[in-house]
Structure 1
C-alpha cells in the first residue's frame, strides 16, 4: 500500500471521526474525572505519535480533560503503574490486556492507535555475518525498550518460531530515545528490537542490518501471518464502567489525533512534536514519519483477527497463557470508538 492509498482510506474515515466525536461530545455529560494521569513507555517513539498529537493539538483540552503524561522506560513499566494505581490510563501494547486477564486483572482497550507493531529487529552491522536470523540469537544481548514490553515479546516470538526458547537470549532495557541509539553505538547490545525514530537513525548511520520489519503490512504478515494490532488506549475495566463520559472524551481526543495524522504531512508532524524527538536529525525524522504512516489505525477498532493473532503470539512464548481461558471480547471495548465515528 502506498501513501496515496493510505491517505485515501484514512481521509474518509477521519472526516467521519471528527464530526462524530464533536457531535457526541456536545451530547455527553461532563467527565466524571476531568484530570487524568496517563502512562506511556517511550513517548518520543513514533509508536506513540497519536498520543503526542492529541496533546500538542489540544484535543484533550477540547474534550474538557486535563491529562498529565508520565513517560516510563517501557510499556511494561506503564502497565505496572496502572495496576499500582499511580496512573489512570495507558497508551501501550494491546497484548497487555490479554496478559493481565490471565492474571485475574481486567484491563480493557478502548481505542486502537496502531494496526501494525511497527517494531524492527536488527543486528549490529559487524555481526551480520554470524547473526543471520532469529535462530542465531541464542546467547546474544538484545536491546529492547524494557524487558516484558512489546519490543521484547516480538523478538521472543521470532526466536520461538526459529526453534529457540524465549529465554535463550539476554534482554536488556535501553529505553526509548537517544539512549537506545547510544547502546548500539557503544556495543552494549548485539541485536536491537525497537521502533522509529531509533531504528531509522541506526539504519541511516549504517550501524544495523534489519532482519524483521513490522512497520509495514507486508512485514507484519511475514512474521505473524496476518494483522497484529499494536498501541492502544487501555484502562482498568472498572474505571471504564465507572467513568463512561471521561473515557468517551478520552477516545474522542485520540480519534481526532488519528484523523489529523491521516491528512498531515511528515513536515507538519515534525513541526508539531518537541524538537528532541528528532534525535538531532530532522530530515531523518521526516523519513521515519513517512515510513510509519501505514502503521497507524484507520478505524480505531481492534479487528477480531488481530486480537486472535496477538493471543496466539502470547501463547507461543508464555507457558502460563498456553492453557489459559481468555475472553477476547473483554479485552477491547469498541463502543466508544463507534460513538466517536458514527
Structure 2
C-alpha cells in the first residue's frame, strides 16, 4: 500500500513538473506589446495579428495601448511590457539620461511622420506662409509629431514660436475634439481623424507633414538591451512576423487592408479606413522592411536637433540592432 502511495505521489509530481514546464514554455513565447496609441498608421501590426503571422512564428502576442510616449517608455523600463511600439526618439531620450540598460530599436514599422495639416476653412492654392499670424493647434513638446511639424515649418521659413500662436497644452487624445469645438485655425492630425473631419465638413487636409519632413524611423519596435540578450530567438521571430505583415500590406489593396484591420477600429467606417490606408501607402509611410536606415536616422537627429531636444548626436549602431530585420528580409 505504501509503495502504491509513493508511486501515485511520484506520478503527481511528474505531472505537476511537466505542467509547470509547459506553462513556462508558453510564457517564454508570449510577448507583451505596448503601442503608444491605436492608429491606422500602424496597420501592418494589426495585419500581423489578424493574419496569424505571429502565431506562425510560434509567438503569442498580448497588445495593449499605453497612451503616450512617456507612459509607453515607463511601461517598458519597468517590465510591464516586453516590447514598445513608439517613436525612435524615446530611445534617444533614455540614452541621454545615461541608462545602464539602453533601449534598442530592432524593427521599424513606419518610416515617415503620420500627421496631416488640416485647415478649418477650405484653402485652395494653399501656401505655407498662410500660417503666419494664425492659431495653430500643435502636438506635445518633444514628441515626434510636434518636432516633425516644427521641422517642416522652419523649412518653409516659419518660426513656430514667433510667427504663429502655437497651442501645445492639450493632451494628445483631446486634440481632435479641441479643434472640432473651435480651437485653432489649423491642426496637425493623424488618420483616420483627418479624413473623418473632411467627411464631416469640420476641416480640410491641405498638406502632409510626412511628405514634407522626409524619411524618419518614426514608429519602431524597441526593447531593453538585456531583453534582446536573453531572447534573441524570440526577437527574431517577432521581426519575421512584422516583415511578413509589411509585405502583405504592400501587396494588397487599401480595401483589403482596411477589412483586415477593421476589428481594431470598430467605430470607424470602412471607406474611411480604406482611404486612410491609401493615403499612407501613397506617401510611403508604411515601411517595406523592418530595417532602420542610416539616412533616415540622421534625419531624425536633424529634426530633434532643430527642436532643441538633442544633447548629442548618437550613431545608429548605438541604439539599433538591424540583424533581426536583415535576417527577416532573407
* 1:291 shift after superposition: 1.5
Q: 1:310 to 1:134 in 2, by over 3 A?
A: farther
Query: Which of 147, 151, 170 is residue 157 of structure 1 equivalent to?
Result: 151
Residues matched between the structures, number: 297
Q: Which moved more, 1:249-258 or 1:59-68?
A: 59-68
Q: 1:135 to 1:228 in 2, by over 3 A?
A: farther
Q: 1:212 to 1:133 in 2, by over 3 A?
A: farther
Matches within 5 A, 1:74-93: 74-93=68-87
8 Å CA contact retained: 2:176, 2:189: no
Query: Which of 16, 34, 42 is residue 37 of structure 2 equivalent to?
Result: 42
Distance 1:143 1:58 in 2: 37
8 Å CA contact retained: 2:239, 2:328: yes
Distance 1:133 1:239 in 2: 48
- Which residue of the partner structure matches residue 295 of structure 2? 305
8 Å CA contact retained: 2:239, 2:290: no
Matches within 5 A, 1:192-207: 192-207=187-202
**What is the TM-score when the length of structure 2 is the normalising length?**
0.79
* 1:249 shift after superposition: 1.0
* 1:203 shift after superposition: 2.5
Q: Deviations over 1:98-138 (max 9, x none)?
A: 22222223221111111221221323228999x9655446x
Query: Which of 60, 67, 71 is residue 65 of structure 2 equivalent to?
Result: 71
Matches within 5 A, 1:1-342: 33-43=28-38, 45-105=39-99, 106-125=102-121, 133=130, 135-136=132-133, 140=135, 142=137, 144=139, 148-161=142-155, 162-165=158-161, 169-171=166-168, 172-175=170-173, 181-215=176-210, 219=211, 223-224=212-213, 226-275=214-263, 277=265, 279-293=267-281, 294-319=284-309, 321=310, 323-342=311-330
Q: Deviations over 1:271-325 (max 9, x none)?
A: 2123562644222221111121232112222211100000011011125x2x424
Any gaps of 5 or more consecutive residues in structure 2?
Answer: 1-24
**Superposition RMSD on alpha carbons, in Å?**
3.0
The list of structure 1 runs, each at least 4 consecutive aligned residues, that deviate by more than 6 angstroms after superposition, is 126-129
Q: Deviations over 1:180-218 (max 9, x none)?
A: 544332224543222111112123333224454034xxx
SS of the counterpart of 1:69? strand
- Which residue of the partner structure matches residue 25 of structure 1? none
Distance 1:123 1:76 in 2: 29
* 1:52 shift after superposition: 0.9
Any gaps of 5 or more consecutive residues in structure 1?
Answer: 1-29
Q: 1:331 to 1:203 in 2, by over 3 A?
A: farther
Q: 1:328 to 1:31 in 2, by over 3 A?
A: farther
Q: Relative contact order (alpha carbons < 8 A, sep ≥ 6): 1 or 2 greater?
A: 1
Distance 2:26 2:165 in 1: 47
Q: 1:151 to 1:158 in 2, by over 3 A?
A: same
* 1:247 shift after superposition: 0.7
